[in-house]
Amino acid sequence: MKLSTSVLIVLALPLLASCGMFTHYATEDCSTLTGKDAMRCMDYRQRQANVAISNEVTELMKAYRQCAQKHESDSGKVKESCAMYRDVLQNVQVGQMSCM
């Protein structure tokens, strides 16, 4: 058991580090970096932005569901009252997000 945990840590740690984990890119000015560090910094910032978008979409979905439940007895009222949530959610392009 202990050996498998150690092997997992040895294998997983470099993968996490290569995806921007355990770095100071959140506070670093990417424009002052060069080469791979600059690319990793920009990639890290892009992933952070993707997380923020994903969190916002989650909150919008919750609000839309609450609105739909509030007016569930009248489908016309759901379309009218909850249209703003539906429109925004349709315009958000979550499929564009990725961790490179």
Q: How many domains does one find in the chain?
A: 1
The verdict on residue 3 lying in a domain is no
Tokens 């429109």 identify what position?
Answer: 87
The verdict on residue 17 lying in a domain is no
Residue 43: partners with Cβ closer than 8 Å, 6 or more residues away: 20, 100
CB-based burial of residue 89 (10 Å sphere; 0-12 exposed, 13-18 middle, 19+ buried)?
middle
Domain that holds residue 92: 25-96
Q: Kindly list the averaged pLDDT for each block of 10 residues, start to end, along the chain of length 100.
A: 50 51 68 85 87 88 90 84 84 58
Residue type at 56 in one-letter notation: E
The verdict on residue 91 lying in a domain is yes
The verdict on residue 13 lying in a domain is no
Query: What's the confidence (pLDDT) of residue 18?
Result: 53
The verdict on residue 8 lying in a domain is no
Residue 17: partners with Cβ closer than 8 Å, 6 or more residues away: 23
Tokens 């979905």 identify what position?
Answer: 61
The verdict on residue 20 lying in a domain is no
Cα separation, 25 vs 44, in Å, equals 7
The verdict on residue 12 lying in a domain is no
